Amino acid sequence: MWSRVVEVMLGCWLVVSPFVFRYADNATWLWGGTFATATVVILLALSSYWRPMRHAHLATFAVAAGMILVGRFLPADAPPLAYQNFIYVGVLLLMFSLVPNDASRPPRSWKEAPATSN
Amino acid sequence: MPEQALTKQLRSGFPAETSVLGVAVTPWSYNPSSWSQRIPICLLALVGFLVATYMGLFQWKLIDEVWDPIFGKQTAAVLTSTVAEWMHGVFGVPDAAFGALAYLGDAIFGLAGSTRRWQYRPWLVILFGIDVIPLGIVSAILVLCQAFIVGEWCFLCLVTAVISLVLVKMAYDEVLSSLMFLHRIWKKTRSASAVWKATWGWPAPGVKEAAAELVKEPA
């Protein structure tokens, strides 16, 4: 579950990043978008600990892809640092979201006998 | 359980709870997914990450100078060249920072998975291979192109290019094992479905036999 822990930490970084990158006070949607993204990332990572929701972290992949697209294509010119942060954290989340929960152990399908097994 | 059945079970890796994960795989005399193989890759990738991040900090203008014991100011010239700025425009972040992410990806995908992941999670090994091998070769070529196009040399860029190529050398055996495993499944079953399932970690018919044929002995 180490990758889920890192996702929570990246979510926490997103929470503080508006203050680090000094978002303008009137950039309401940017503040809201960053906090909303952080909340979704943290919730998806935490819900992956609950067995029925163990694949929730895969949804982080879509969130991360959205962050990269917003960071790369929303600014008209070269992305300012706040948007570069979206790209950077987005790529990190993209990679971590693919790591399975119990990555160091064999997958369940190799532990149990599936119907198709010979 | 009879000894022959036990040996077959150990070689096929199923069920995983009672199997041995640390097995040597043909054509190697060792387990390419063992921690002793993967940890050095992750450590070297982290060195690459740190070096690339250092250059990224300079491109972000968070530090004023960049260290180069051989080519002096040429490194700064390379990192602020029109080629570097063009790549910044393409990626949205400085190219060195983007390279740092690729090295971190090597470490992340190198750490994930069991010591028999070449069999249990081929997709993860292939993803790791995509991050290390094609991207590593391309990044090394890009660094060399930059040196020749810009006409200046960057010591730390060359260090990262060497790290990329060493990582390719260190990682290819595990990727090859996974690909050989999938190829053997194809040869045995001629079923794209079996190969597809095996890629995603499902023991479809023929998969266990293919694994058993590749395993040499408990390492």
pLDDT per position as a tens digit, A52-76:
988 999 999 999 999 999 998 887 6
pLDDT band of A27, cuts 50, 70, 90: confident
Interface test with B, best of A110, A116, A117, A118 (most B CBs within 10 A): A110
pLDDT in the model for residue B15: 72
pLDDT in the model for residue A116: 47
Burial class (CB in 10 A: 0-12, 13-18, 19+), A105: middle
Please list every residue in chain A whose beta carbon sits closer than 8 Å to the beta carbon of residue B114: 103-106
CB pairs under 8 A between A and B: 86
A6, B105 contact by CB (below 8 A) = no
Burial class (CB in 10 A: 0-12, 13-18, 19+), B48: buried
The low-confidence residues of chain B, meaning pLDDT below 70, are 1-10, 12, 16-18, 217-219
Length of chain A: 118
- Whole-structure pTM over 0.90, yes or no? no
ipTM computed for the complex: 0.84
For residue A117, pLDDT over 50 is answered with no
B88 touches chain A (CB under 8 A): yes
Q: Where are the beta strands (DSSP E) in chain B?
A: 23-25, 215-218
Q: Is A48 helix (H, G, I), strand (E, B) or coil?
A: coil
For residue A78, pLDDT over 60 is answered with yes
pLDDT band of A115, cuts 50, 70, 90: very low
For residue A111, pLDDT over 80 is answered with no
- Single out the residue of B21, B51, B54, B58 nearest to residue B38, CA to CA: B21
Mean pLDDT of all residues belonging to chain B: 86
Structure tokens that stand for A107 in this block:
């997958």
B2 touches chain A (CB under 8 A): no
Please list every residue in chain B whose beta carbon sits closer than 8 Å to the beta carbon of residue A104: 112-114
Question: Between B17, B93, B197, which is nearest A111 by CB?
Answer: B17
Higher-scoring residue by pLDDT: A79, A63: A63
Question: CB–CB of A114 and B201 under 8 A?
Answer: no
Question: CB–CB of A117 and B14 under 8 A?
Answer: yes
Question: Between B109, B124, B203, which is nearest A110 by CB?
Answer: B203
Rounded to whole angstroms, the Cα distance separating A57 from A8 reads 11
Residues 19-38 of B with CB under 8 A from A: 21
